[in-house]
Amino acid sequence: MTQKELGYVELEWTCKRCGTVNPGMQRVCANCGAPIQQDDEFKLPDQQALITDQDKLAEAKAGPAIQCPYCNVYNPAGTKICKQCGGDIEAGLARQAGQVLGAFQTSAVPDKPCPYCSQPVKANAARCPYCGGDLSVAAQPAASPATQPQKTPRWMVWGGIALGVVLLAAFIAFIVANSRREEVTASVADVRWQLSIEILALQPVTHSAWSEQVPAGATDVTCRDRFKETSNSPVANATEECGTPYTVDVGSGAGKVVQDCVYQVYASYCDYTVQELGLVNTAVAAGADTNPYWPAFSLQPGQQEGNRSEQYQVTFDTGELTYTYSISDAAEFGQYTLGSQWLLSVNGFGNVNVIGQK
């Protein structure tokens, strides 16, 4: 993500002695002359505007202001001699910087009346400059009465318990049915088999991919621009997407207005056609005996053999119930001659395992 600089805005601070709101780059209070302190916070003014004066802009960009160790007045970064008392401030303490102060907005916030003297004061003033009233205390809203926690309806509690019992019972029934085994004797009542062979041939298939991934020899290529990725720096064929501007305290009494930006990169995305092997036919042989065989087939020019598959099914009859047993091994299937008897293990779901021939 790229941080885009839009400019600088002068902040403001509130004098703890008299409550006067002062411009951020003014080091002493305009009303009582008290210097700004290290713990005095810079805040965004009600009316925010980018600094255009070149001298003030240079001071804003210079970095955190330096506090004079003799008179406590702050001086612009790079100052060697205090402008207030003439003391050497090379070893002075620099203001902290880097705090995000909030969104940058140019619309003005109207003044509010002081709750003590009714004089109009700035909306973010901590103390009234006319009567000295503490606005931070007066502005606090009355505590709202504590709300009682909402109780869950009794029917929902019992309904949840009942649902849990039903689900638990169903799970236990599944485990019991799956683990329960019964041995039965059954005879082979029917056998079925099916063997198949895929026949493949080259045929046109449509795919989609980024233009650089389209294979050589592809036909019917059609492309359009499509979002591909984001980039932290400007690149070709990208659109800039920026968030809400916000202000960062740089410690000089000014804030840097920035935006976090990313770049939406678009690239050519294409549909294309290539020749690929695909299923064009299936040769099938099937029967109702224990002598399966592969189907005969002939390949046409351009065709080739694909996958082979085998399916075998045996039906057992106990005299009361029938069970279907599916396998994929031809040698095992050949043992199940019609009328032969077998010992089966059957679970609660009717799934069969063959134990052996009787």
Q: Is the pLDDT of residue 16 over 90?
A: no
- Contact call for residues 161 and 168 (beta carbons, < 8 A): no
Confidence of residue 61 (pLDDT cuts 50, 70, 90): very high
pLDDT, tens digit, for every residue of 162-177? 888 888 877 776 676 5
- Which residues, other chains included, contact 59 with Cβ-Cβ below 8 Å and sequence gap of 6+? 25, 76, 77, 252, 254
Average pLDDT of the residues in 195-218? 96
Under the banding of pLDDT at 50, 70 and 90, the label for residue 140 is: very low
Q: Which residue has the higher pLDDT, 126 or 318?
A: 318
Angle at 179 between CA 175 and CA 181, to 5 degrees: 145
| Cα 234 from Cα 24, distance rounded (Å) | 35
Burial 281-291 (b: 16+ CB within 10 A, else e): eebeeeeeebe
DSSP letters spanning 203-265 = EEEEEEEEGGGSPTT-EEEEEEEEEEEEESS--TTEEEEE---EEEE-SSSEEEEEEEEEEEE
Give the residue-averaged pLDDT of 51-70. 91
DSSP, collapsed to helix, strand or coil, labels residue 167 as helix
Closest to 305 (Cα-Cα) out of 337, 329, 281, 325: 281
> What is the percentage of the chain residues whose pLDDT exceeds 70?
92
pLDDT at 293 over 50: yes
Helix %, strand %, coil % for the chain, to 5? 15, 45, 45
Q: Percent of the chain beyond pLDDT 90?
A: 47
CB atoms within 10 A of CB 301: 5
Model confidence at 128: pLDDT above 90: no
The DSSP element (H or E) to which 136 belongs, if any, is helix 135-138
Q: Which of 193, 196, 198, 184 is nearest to 332 (CA)?
A: 193
Would you state the pLDDT for residue 139?
Answer: 43
SS (H, E, C) 101-113: EEECCCCCCCCEE
**218 bridge partner residues:** none
Q: What band does 141 get if pLDDT is binned at 50, 70 and 90?
A: very low
235-291 pLDDT tens trace: 888 888 999 999 999 999 999 999 999 999 999 999 999 999 999 999 999 999 999
What's the confidence (pLDDT) of residue 136? 55
Report residue 79 as tokens: 């100052």
**Half-sphere exposure at residue 205, Cβ-oriented, CA atoms within 13 angstroms:** 10
Q: Work out the mean pLDDT of the chain and round it to a whole number.
A: 87
Q: What is the pLDDT of residue 117?
A: 87
Enumerate long-range contacts of 85-92, CB under 8 Å, 24 or more apart. Answer: 92/66, 92/67, 92/68
Q: How many residues does the chain have?
A: 358
Residue 318 gets the label, from left (phi > 0), alpha (psi -120 to 50) or beta, of: alpha
Q: How far is it, in rounded angstroms, from Cα 12 to Cα 60?
A: 13
* Range from 1-5, 99-103, 107-111, 337-341 that averages highest in pLDDT: 337-341
Of 315, 300, 301, which Cα lies nearest the Cα of 350? 315
